[in-house]
Amino acid sequence: MIALDAGVLACALNRFAPAHARASQVVEDLVNGERPWALPWPVVHEVLDLVTHPHAVARPLRPSEAWGFLGLVVASPAVRMLGPTPRHAEALVEVLGATGGTRAGAGSETGAGSESGAGRGIPPGLETAAVLREHGVRELLSADPGMRRYGFLTVIDPFRSPAWTPASPPARRYRVLHP
């Protein structure tokens, strides 16, 4: 199963974003398709925060406008909404251990001046990664190169990769993990 990250959803929602057309196509293909896909609740919260924040976007939306779009996405019959489970603390510790405790982004040694989480105590995307880990999701559609820090995830950038569609095969074969 593949999951969708906040950046792709935010681009699909923001018609002024350079990647809007591609992001919209990806989201529409997922929402209207039959293949199951995952959407972590932390991603929904992050998108709501991002697109309604007056300092994050040039034209912030009202929360009701943002939810008008996200509500349709969440209502898709193919989506599987993912949230924390009783195993969340265990998954969080696992994911934290796999990052080596660094805040630096992929390809960055210090993280200073980047979007890698400089000035924050935890790596960006940690909550999303922990939820994906506890549900066994291993593929993520994301334009955020920082999500590659989570080694269990295969990150597919739908804006730079060859045209991804829901019919695309998994990036690699996986064995089933049993808790």
pTM of the entire structure?
0.80
Torsion from C-alpha of 65, 69, 71, 76, nearest 10 degrees: 170
- Cα torsion through 14, 45, 54, 21, rounded to 10: -10
Cα distance between residue 78 and residue 32, in whole Å: 8
DSSP-derived 3-state class of residue 8? helix
Residue 116 confidence (pLDDT) above 50 = no
Is pLDDT above 60 for 119?
no
Helix (H) or strand (E) holding 81: strand 79-82
Residue with tokens 């924050």: 120
pLDDT tens-digit series, residues 12-45? 998 888 899 999 999 999 999 999 999 999 999 9
- Whole-number Å distance between alpha carbons of 149 and 106: 6
